[in-house]
C-alpha cells in the first residue's frame, strides 16, 4: 500500500481550465489545516482505500495526500472502531527520515456510513521502479556508490521499524513502494500495508480491495513463507530483491507473467562484485531463519565503512542544534580567517599536513549538513540503545468529547516535535502571591508556540512540565529538560524582589 503517491491521474489536458478545476477545494479537515482537492493521485493497490486525492497543508504550504476508507455500513465500522483508532494512533508515532510520514487521521460519521480520512506525505519525485526504468532506458548502469547509499538508507528504515516496540513488519516492500527524491534521499512508503490488511476486512469496506501480493509483476518480492510466518525475515527477502533490482536495473521475466526463481538466480550471478553477490544472496535464502537482520546487513562488508570524522561531526551537530543559535554555520564561516588552520597532522622528520578554512566551501558544508539532516547519510555503525516505543496517543475524555461542537472531531495526539529553543519571562505581583509565566517555545520544524499561566508559590516545575506533556504542548522526551529549565528560572526569580526576569535556553 503506497501512502505517498507519484503519478497524478490528471489526464493529458494540461489546460488552464483543467488546472483550475483540479485545484478546487472540495473539503477541509475539521481543524481547517488540510484542504482536499479534486486531483486524484495513484495509490497502487491499497487495501480498502476508496480514493486518494492531492491536498494542501495550509500550515506548511506543501502538498500532501488525502486518503479515504469508506465503510458502507456503520455497524461494520463500529465493530472495528477500537482497532482502527489504535492502529492509526500508533502509526502517527512512527518517525524516521527514510520513512514516508503519516501526518494525521480523523473519523467522519454521516447517516449510516463511516469514513476514515488520513493524511500522508506526498512524494513528488517518483518511485524507485520508475527511476530504474529511466536509467535503463538511457543505457546507463548503476553507480556502486549510489547503490550502497540507497541500501544503507533502506536498511536504516527497516532496522528502525523492526526495533520498534512492538516491532513493525512492513510486508509490502517493493521498488514501487520505495521512493527517491532528486537529492538522492530514499524513503519507504506503505509501512502500514500489513496493518491495513489485518484491520480492514474486504467485507464492509467500499471500494476495490486488492493486495500487492496478487500483482503478478511484484510477486517475486514476496518470500516463500509470506502469509504463513510473518516476521522481519519477509522484509529482508523483499529488500534483497530490491537491492538486486537496484544493481541490475531490472530482473528480466523473459516474457513470463512473473519473474522466475531462475531469473533471480541469473541476475544475482551477473553481479561482478562477489561481495554484492553474497550480500543479495544472503537476503533471499529460502530458509527464513538463515536470513540476516537489517542491523546485521548494515555491518556487511559490502556496506560497512568507518564513518568519517566529518560525518560523525555533522550528526553530532544536527542532534545538538539546540546548543547553537540559528544560522550559526553561515555566521561562523563569515568570521573565519581564510588562512587560519582548522586541522593539522604532524609528521616527524617531514612537513606536516595543514587543512585551512579556505579549503572548505561554506556552501558545500551547508548542503552536506542539510543532506545529513534529511537522512541521506545515516549512521550505520551504532546499535539502538533501546527499542523505539510506539505509544498510544492520548485520547479525548468522554466529558470532553461531549463538549466538542464539530460532529467529526480529530483525536487528540501526543506532541512528536522536539523543542529546540526556549525563552521564559516571569512577572510577580506586588504581594508576591502569584507569578505570571510567559513561555516561548521554538519547535524543530521552526514553528513557534507561546504559552502563559499564573504560578502559585506551591506549584513546582515538574508538575508544570507534566501538564504541558498531558495537553500535548511538548514531547514527553522534553519533559525533564523543560522541568530543569523552569526549576532554575523559578529559583532565580523567587530569590529576587518582585519585578521581572527572563531567560533563554537552547534544548533538545
Q: Rounded to the nearest 5 degrees, what angle is found at the Cα of 192, between the Cα atoms of 145 and 63? A: 75
Residue 426 burial (10 A CB sphere; 0-12, 13-18, 19+): buried
- If one counts every other C-beta atom within 10 angstroms of the C-beta of residue 50, the result is 18
Distances (CA, A) of 146 to 50, 141, 183, 185, 376: 37, 11, 11, 10, 11
Q: Rounded to the nearest 5 degrees, what angle is found at the Cα of 95, between the Cα atoms of 309 and 329? A: 40
Question: Considering only CA atoms, which of 75, 131, 72, 91 is closest in space to residue 1?
Answer: 91
Per-residue pLDDT tens digits for 27-48: 999 888 999 998 887 644 444 4
| Contact predicate 232/294, CB 8 Å | yes
DSSP string, 344-365: EEEETTEEEEEEEGGGS-HHHH
Outline where 47-191 has alpha helix (H): 74-91, 128-137, 144-162
In three-state secondary structure terms, 187 is strand
Residues 6+ apart with CB under 8 A from 353: 344, 345, 347
Separation between Cα atoms, residue 192 and residue 294, nearest integer Å:
18
* pLDDT-derived band at 284, boundaries 50, 70, 90: very high
Distance of CA 141 to the CA centre of its chain: 30
pTM of the model: 0.65
At 414 the pLDDT is 74
Question: Considering only CA atoms, which of 251, 141, 120 is closest in space to residue 188?
Answer: 120
Backbone phi, then psi, for 462, in 5-degree steps? -65, -45
Residue 156 burial (10 A CB sphere; 0-12, 13-18, 19+): buried
Strand partners, 448: 442
Mean local confidence (pLDDT), 197-226: 62
* pLDDT-derived band at 297, boundaries 50, 70, 90: very high
Separation between Cα atoms, residue 283 and residue 274, nearest integer Å:
15
At 68 the pLDDT is 85
Residue tagged 479534486 (cell numbers):
38
DSSP string, 451-481: EEEEE-TT--HHHHHHHHHHTTSS-GGGHHH
| Contact predicate 66/117, CB 8 Å | yes
How many residues are given for the chain?
508
| Contact predicate 220/264, CB 8 Å | yes
Antiparallel, parallel or unpaired: β 435-443 and 350-356: unpaired
Question: Grid coordinates representing 39?
Answer: 486531483
Instruction: Return the axis-axis angle of helices 232-248 and 128-137, rounded to nearest 10°.
Output: 20
* pLDDT-derived band at 216, boundaries 50, 70, 90: low
At 259 the pLDDT is 83
pLDDT of 447 > 80? The answer is no
pLDDT of 405 > 80? The answer is no
Backbone phi, then psi, for 6, in 5-degree steps? -110, -30
Distances (CA, A) of 125 to 178, 180, 207, 250: 11, 6, 27, 20
| Contact predicate 314/320, CB 8 Å | no
Question: Considering only CA atoms, which of 276, 269, 303, 379 is closest in space to residue 151?
Answer: 303
pLDDT of 495 > 80? The answer is no
| Contact predicate 150/132, CB 8 Å | no
| Contact predicate 476/469, CB 8 Å | yes
* pLDDT-derived band at 421, boundaries 50, 70, 90: confident
- Maximum Cα interatomic distance, the chain, rounded to a whole number of Å: 87
206 or 369, greater pLDDT: 369
Q: What percent of the chain has pLDDT over 90?
A: 15
Question: Grid coordinates representing 75?
Answer: 455497524
Separation between Cα atoms, residue 7 and residue 123, nearest integer Å:
10
* Spatial strand order in the sheet of 500-506: 448-455, 435-443, 419-428, 500-506
At 36 the pLDDT is 92
Strand partners, 188: 99, 178
At 314 the pLDDT is 83
Question: Considering only CA atoms, which of 411, 413, 488, 482 is closest in space to residue 443?
Answer: 482
Strand partners, 290: none
Question: Considering only CA atoms, which of 96, 141, 35, 24 is closest in space to residue 379?
Answer: 96
Per-residue pLDDT tens digits for 345-389: 888 888 888 878 777 777 778 888 888 888 888 876 554 444 454
Question: Grid coordinates representing 77?
Answer: 465500522
- Give the mean pLDDT of the chain: 77
Amino acid at each position: 500500500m503506497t501512502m505517498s503517491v507519484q503519478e497524478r491521474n490528471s489526464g493529458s489536458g494540461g489546460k488552464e481550465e483543467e488546472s483550475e478545476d483540479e485545484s478546487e477545494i472540495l473539503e477541509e479537515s475539521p481543524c481547517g489545516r488540510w484542504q482536499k482537492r479534486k486531483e486524484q493521485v495513484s495509490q497502487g493497490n491499497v487495501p480498502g482505500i476508496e480514493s486518494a486525492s492531492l491536498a494542501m497543508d495550509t500550515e506548511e504550504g506543501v502538498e500532501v495526500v488525502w486518503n479515504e476508507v469508506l465503510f458502507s455500513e456503520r455497524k461494520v465500522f463500529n465493530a472495528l472502531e477500537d482497532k482502527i483508532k489504535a492502529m492509526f494512533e500508533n502509526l502517527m508515532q512512527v518517525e524516521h527520515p527514510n520513512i514516508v510520514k503519516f501526518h494525521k487521521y480523523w473519523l467522519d460519521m454521516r447517516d449510516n456510513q463511516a469514513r476514515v480520512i488520513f493524511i500522508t506525505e506526498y512524494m513528488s519525485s517518483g518511485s524507485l521502479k520508475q527511476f530504474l526504468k529511466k536509467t535503463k532506458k538511457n543505457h546507463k548502469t548503476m553507480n556502486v556508490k549510489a547503490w550502497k547509499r540507497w541500501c544503507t538508507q533502506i536498511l536504516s528504515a527497516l532496522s528502525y521499524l523492526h526495533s520498534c516496540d512492538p516491532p513493525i513488519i512492513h510486508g509490502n516492500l517493493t521498488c514501487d513502494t520505495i521512493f527517491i527524491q532528486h537529492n538522492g534521499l530514499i524513503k519507504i512508503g506503505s509501512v502500514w500495508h500489513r496493518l491495513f490488511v489485518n484491520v480492514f476486512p474486504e467485507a464492509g469496506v467500499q471500494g476495490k480491495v486488492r493486495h500487492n501480493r496478487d500483482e503478478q509483476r511484484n510477486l517475486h518480492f514476496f518470500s516463500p513463507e509470506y502469509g504463513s510466518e510473518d516476521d522481519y525475515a519477509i522484509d529482508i527477502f523483499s529488500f534483497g530483491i530490491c537491492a538486486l533490482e537496484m544493481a541490475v536495473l531490472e530482473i528480466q521475466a523473459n516474457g513470463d507473467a512473473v519473474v522466475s526463481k531462475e531469473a533471480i538466480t541469473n541476475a544475482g550471478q551477473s553481479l561482478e562484485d562477489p561481495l554484492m553477490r553474497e550480500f543479495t544472496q544472503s537476503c533471499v535464502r529460502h530458509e527464513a531463519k538463515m536470513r540476516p537482520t537489517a542491523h546485521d546487513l548494515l555491518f556487511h562488508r559490502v556496506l560497512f565503512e568507518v564513518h568519517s570524522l566529518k560525518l560523525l561531526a555533522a550528526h553530532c551537530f544536527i542532534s545538538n542544534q539546540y546548543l547553537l543559535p540559528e544560522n550559526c554555520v553561515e555566521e561562523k564561516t563569515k568570521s573565519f580567517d581564510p588562512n587560519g588552520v582548522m586541522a593539522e597532522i604532524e609528521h616527524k622528520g617531514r612537513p606536516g599536513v595543514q587543512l585551512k578554512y579556505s579549503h572548505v566551501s561554506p556552501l558545500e558544508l551547508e548542503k552536506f549538513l542539510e543532506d545529513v539532516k534529511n537522512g541521506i547519510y545515516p549512521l550505520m555503525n551504532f546499535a539502538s540503545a533501546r527499542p523505539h516505543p510506539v505509544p498510544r496517543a492520548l485520547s479525548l475524555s468522554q466529558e470532553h468529547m461531549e463538549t466538542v461542537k464539530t460532529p467529526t472531531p480529530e483525536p487528540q495526539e501526543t506532541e512528536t516535535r522536539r523543542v529546540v529553543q526556549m525563552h521564559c519571562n516571569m512577572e510577580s505581583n506586588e504581594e508576591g502571591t502569584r507569578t505570571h509565566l510567559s513561555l516561548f517555545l521554538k519547535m524543530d520544524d521552526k514553528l513557534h508556540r507561546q504559552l502563559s499561566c499564573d504560578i502559585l508559590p506551591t506549584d513546582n516545575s515538574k508538575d508544570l512540565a507534566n501538564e504541558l506533556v498531558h495537553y500535548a504542548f511538548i514531547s514527553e522526551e522534553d519533559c525533564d529538560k523543560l522541568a530543569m529549565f523552569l526549576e532554575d528560572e523559578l529559583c532565580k526569580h523567587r530569590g529576587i524582589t518582585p519585578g521581572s526576569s527572563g531567560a533563554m535556553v537552547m534544548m533538545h
